[in-house]
Chains A and B, each alone.
Chain A
Amino acid sequence: MKFVKNALGRLVPDEVNGQKQIPFKGVGKHRPTGRKHAPMISSCIDYPADGNKMLTSIKDALKKCGLKNGMTISTHHHFRNGDLVAQMIFDAAAELGVKNLRWAPSASFECHSSLIKYLEDGTIRHIEGSMNGALGRFTSEGKMKGIGILRSHGGRYQAIQDGELKIDIAVIAAPTADPFGNATGDRGPAACGLLGFALADSQYADKVVVVTDNIVPFPCIPWQIHGNYVDFVVKIDKVGISEKIVSGTTEITKSPDRLLLAEWTAKFCDEAGIIQNGFSFQAGAGGTALSIGIYFADILRERGMKSRWARGGSNKYLVKMMEDGLVDYILDGQTFDLEGVRSMRENPGHVNTSPFTSYNYHGKGNFASMIDVVILGATEVDVNFNANVVTHSDGCLLHGIGGWQNCIFSKCTILPIPLFRDRIPVIRDACTTICGPGELIDVIVTERGIAINPLRKDLIAKMKNSNLPIKTIKQLKDEAEAICGKPDNPEFTKDPVAIIKWVDGTVIDTVWKIKK
């Protein structure tokens, strides 16, 4: 394994887990060639004509899928922190004595910390997806056998489509399914809204298993996942813990500091002329983002305007905006609360989308770049507006990328973030890890001032006479350091523990092992 400097000057490996890697070349600089990956041709000869693909256990399904050492199993995070299925899969794999598996979740959560024992005993070799919480710490300490790969939601679709991430067995946990394998997320005891993160897996994996606790007779309508892609259907007692499924931050913030961030962000959007009749927006699930949505709603209502479309994750506030006639369409990637799930079932304008439609960079366009404004977070931003969402300033891997990298292609990307969190400055000379290049990040809103990327001369001109506290990012960094003191950087060894993929499959940065 050799290391090369990529276009951002970050040292990245040219090969990971035996696969050749391309260093990040710059935004819009890498053009892929060739054809997409394709699964084997199937035939109805091998499937029951009556459409009944039911098996009695996950273990049985894995055996029938031909599970072997070294294979790749994928799962999805529709159940978020309430997922029970990933655990069952690897329990079964361990019982079957299989080793060196590659786990490719669309995201991991704290509930997956229990899989560490399978990383330790060699059942799982490494993870490609995200490594959150305890899994992140485990990875950062260099305990994972292979090198982790982190991808955005769009990057995951791209990697599966392009054949970079070949999935042997995809296990799709579904709130409702029929015996043929048609499946939906919008109903059932573990209703989670939609199953978009599993779309790529259903299309490209060699074997596809649907696992559900709610079998309905054929046809399962709507069929968010087509049974025609599915090999087996397994009915189990319980796929997820429903109260943990809708566990995103679903209440607007009561913190006065965050409310200030939300208010300034909304004001900024208004003064910059972003909020107009027919505009589009995306605000995430955090308390601050939710509050920004409420400010947007107030402005629209007051002026008799409406938004043409908003991107989810949806929640009760966004749903209310739609039901109050302030938004025509919600193009939803995931539902963060039960109101979101209900609305998706009931409102024709609340449409389920997938990383293919919204985020995939190797497609014929995607929705993310069409949106007028997106509100995101970050753990660190450097003085060149490069930002980090996966590691903390102590060097530890703690979060996944989610749709963040994909979303920063919007027409205006705003990060409302505190200047420091419990003494840890968020704006720094350099990020511990770069997940997104600064040229795509337009505005940083902190409680002590707002910095506009110098590349956005248009925004700077529009805000020239604003009463909002516009500062340079360097001023903000200095202010943070004056309050907190200048932080030391974490010390790393020369061993990579994970790489961060950019939306086009190139390597934007490396996560290094923490020195004890």
Chain B
Amino acid sequence: MSTIAIAGNKGKGVRSDCQISVSLTKNKGLEITLDSKVKTMYGRSIVELTEKIFNFFGIKNAQVLIEDSGALEFILAARLEYAIKQLIKTDLEFLPEFLKENKDVTTKDRSRISRLYLPGNSPSLMINAGIHNTDGLILDIEDAVAPAKKDEARYLVRNALRALNFYGAERMVRINQGERGLIDLEFIVPHYVNLILIPKCENASQIHSIDAKIAEIKKLHKMKHNVWYMPIIESAQGVINAYQIATASENVVALAIGLEDYTADLGTKRTNEGTESFFARTMLVNASVAAGVQPIDSVFSDVFDMEALKQNVLKSKGLGFVGMGCIHPRQIRVLHEYFAPDSDEIEKAKKIVLAFDDATAKGLGVVSLGTKMIDPPVVKRAMKSIDTAIAAGKLQKDWKKTEMERMADEAVSKKK
């Protein structure tokens, strides 16, 4: 009796996915049965891909059932490979073609106002995620994937990192905790993941072991690109060790807080007022700022209450956070709108930037606004505010030109 290996998903409500059932046979060749809603358009190419993959793994005799609901090639390939790997032992990997833009690396201090969580084993939610203008897209193979599906999700996430267009969003993966998380890295680091979210981070040694593992993988693949970390602090222990975590590696770029687990750890309840997490949040902001990384707030779970989200963002910004997680694309815009500087902040930033330009033009080493001297970090922050305001659509790209014209007009009318 041969065993049947199964990978992927089917059934009502499943879209853009497939389920593969494979059993090895003795000498009947490759018997492929395809049940697909796109059979007319892609039946031929699905069969060709299947033959190619079985050939790649050196399997000549097998029964293959493909139940397809419109899976793209990289999804089909991930499902086929995982089905095969349950039946044979091999180190080979069948990798889809790399999109050119998916080899882009990101900078340490890029904007991370919004990052959208996507369940790492649900292709239909991934395909269009990039069009919603989020700073980062997280393929989540931790809490968003059922334990029994975690192995197959690795193949899907690996293929997505190569073949899915992220439309400029930072390519992030939330790995699992502990040993499983270290193996997750083998599936994502060689494929130019930009940033890794490290769940339930409690101490610096967790970061060190990830650092070591990544160095090993990069060496093996002769790769040099940076992989950033965003540890998620989700316990009292983690809060207390926040600064050590933030400074545990050069590659930590942000600290995020996970309030559901944190409040559970405290044995309290998460409330809208957030009194119970006030210490943790301010601790995290302080640790981040002290370490020179970005403090990032927890997700807001009511995806339909935009007003409550807005209030939450304003409070978060007030505490010093610079970004937040999203669990639905509709939240993204609210984050960008309210984490972005308000009109008073924009006006102030404009003045500082213009004063800086003026000083530079005059060859002055010191920037001053009226009678006040402006320190370099203040200038830098003002420039960043301006960038954020432009990105949020609150300020025109060519604001300087408009501003100059306005000032010239004012000068003229004063003369009159």
B132, A256: Cβ atoms under 8 Å? yes
In the complex, are the beta carbons of A257 and B330 less than 8 A apart? no
A101 within 8 A of B: no
Size of the chain A interface, CB-CB below 8 angstroms: 20
In the complex, how many angstroms separate the beta carbon of A483 from the nearest chain B beta carbon? 7
Pairwise interchain contact B131-A423, C-beta atoms closer than 8 A: no
- Asked if A271 lies at the interface with its beta carbon under 8 angstroms from chain B, I say no
A257 lies within 8 A of B131 (CB): yes
A423-B16, A485-B42 given; A447·B37 CB < 8 A: no
**Contact of B329 with A by CB under 8 A:** yes
Residues of A within 8 A of B43 (CB): 488
Give Cα A430–Cα B113 distance, bound, in whole angstroms: 42
C-alpha gap A78/B10 in the complex (Å): 37
Q: Which residues of B contact A424 (CB under 8 A)?
A: 38, 41, 70
Instruction: Tell me whether B69 is interfacial, beta carbon within 8 Å.
Output: yes
- Give the nearest-CB partner of B393 in chain A: A467
Most-contacted residue by chain A among B15, B44, B45, B131 (CB, 10 A)? B131
Inter-subunit contact B16/A422 (CB<8 Å): yes
Does A274 count as interface, using CB distance less than 8 angstroms?
A: no
Which residues of A (440-483) have their CB < 8 Å from a CB of B? 447-448, 483
A280 on the interface (CB 8 Å rule)? no
B41 touches A256 (CB 8 A): no
Selected from A260, A394, A421, A490, the residue in CB contact (under 8 A) with B131 is A260
Q: Is the CB of B72 within 8 A of A483?
A: yes
CA A422 to CA B328, docked complex, whole Å? 20
Most buried by A among B37, B69, B328: B37
A394: chain B residues within 8 A (beta carbon): 38-41
Is the beta-carbon distance between A423 and B38 smaller than 8 angstroms? Answer: yes
Instruction: Name which residue of chain B comes closest to A487, CB basis.
Output: B41
Tell me the chain A residues, 71-115 only, with Cβ under 8 Å from chain B.
Answer: none
Q: Which B residue's beta carbon lies closest to that of A423?
A: B70
Bits for B26-61, please: 1 = Cβ < 8 Å to A, else 0: 000000000001111111110000000000000000
> Is A447 touching B41 in the complex (CB atoms < 8 A)?
no
Q: A488 near B42 (CB under 8 angstroms)?
A: yes
Q: Which residue of B lies closest to A446 (CB)?
A: B131
Q: Is B71 an interface residue (CB 8 A)?
A: yes
User: Given known contacts A256-B329, A422-B70, is B40 in contact with A488 (CB within 8 Å)?
Assistant: yes
Contact A260-B132, Cβ < 8 Å, known A488-B40, A488-B44: yes
Contacts of A393 in B (CB 8 A): 40-41
Encoded as 1 (CB less than 8 Å from any B CB) or 0, chain A from 19 to 50 comes to 00000000000000000000000000000000
Interface string of A322-348 (1 = CB under 8 A from B): 000000000000000000000000000
Map CB proximity to B onto A40-76 as digits: 1 under 8 Å, 0 otherwise.
Answer: 0000000000000000000000000000000000000
Q: Does A236 contact B (CB under 8 A)?
A: no
Provide the A410-438 mask, 1 if CB < 8 A to any CB of B, else 0: 00000000000111100000000000000
- Residue with the highest number of chain B CB atoms closer than 10 Å, among A256, A394, A395, A448: A256
In the complex, the answer to whether B38 meets A490 with C-beta atoms within 8 Å is no
- Of A259, A393, A395, A423, the most chain B CB neighbours within 10 A belong to A423
Q: Judge whether A241 is part of the interface by a CB distance below 8 angstroms.
A: no
Q: Does B276 contact A (CB under 8 A)?
A: no
CB contacts (< 8 Å) of B128 on chain A: these are: 256-257, 447
A484 within 8 A of B: yes
Q: How far is the CA of A485 from the CA of B72 in the complex (A)?
A: 8
Q: Does the CB pair A395–B40 fall under 8 Å?
A: yes
Interface string of B131-148 (1 = CB under 8 A from A): 110000000000000000
B165 touches A483 (CB 8 A): yes
Assembly CA distance A498 to B146 (angstroms): 49
Chain A residues with CB under 8 A of B72: 423, 483-485
Contacts of A484 in B (CB 8 A): 42, 72
Interchain CA distance A346-B44 in the complex, whole Å:
57
Contact with A along B169-184 (1 / 0, CB 8 A): 0000000000000000
Chain A min CB distance to B124 (Å): 8
Which residue of the partner chain A has the closest CB to B164?
A483
**A contact residues around B42 at 8 Å (CB):** 423, 484-485, 487-488
Q: For chain B residues 58-96, which have a beta carbon within 8 Å of chain A? A: 69-73
For residue A433, give the distance in angstroms from its CB to the closest CB of chain B.
14
**Do B41 and A488 touch (CB < 8 A)?**
yes
Within 8 A of A (CB), among B318-367: 328-330
CB distance from B46 to the nearest CB of A (A): 9
Given A256-B132, A395-B40: A485 in contact with B70 (beta carbons within 8 A): no
* Cα separation A448 to B70 with both chains bound (whole Å): 19
Please name all residues of chain B whose beta carbon is closer than 8 Å to the beta carbon of A490 when the two chains form the complex.
40-41
In the complex, chain B residues whose CB is within 8 Å of the CB of A448? 131
Q: How far is the CA of A490 from the CA of B132 in the complex (A)?
A: 34
Nearest-CB residue, chain A, relative to B128: A257
User: Which residue from chain B places its CB closest to the CB of A422 in the assembled complex?
Assistant: B70
- The closest CB in chain B to the CB of A447 belongs to B131
The chain A residue with its CB closest to the CB of B163 is A483
Given A260-B132, A393-B41, 12 additional A-B pairs, CB 8 A: A256-B132, A259-B330, A394-B38, A422-B15, A422-B16, A422-B69, A423-B16, A423-B71, A483-B165, A485-B42, A488-B43, A489-B41
Offer 13 A-B interface pairs, CB within 8 angstroms, sorted by A: A257-B128, A257-B131, A394-B38, A394-B41, A422-B70, A423-B42, A483-B72, A483-B165, A484-B42, A485-B45, A485-B73, A488-B43, A489-B41
Residues of B bordering A, CB below 8 Å: 15-16, 37-45, 69-73, 127-128, 131-132, 165, 328-330
Instruction: Enumerate the 3 nearest inter-chain pairs by beta-carbon distance, A residue then B residue, closest first.
Output: A422-B70, A487-B41, A256-B329
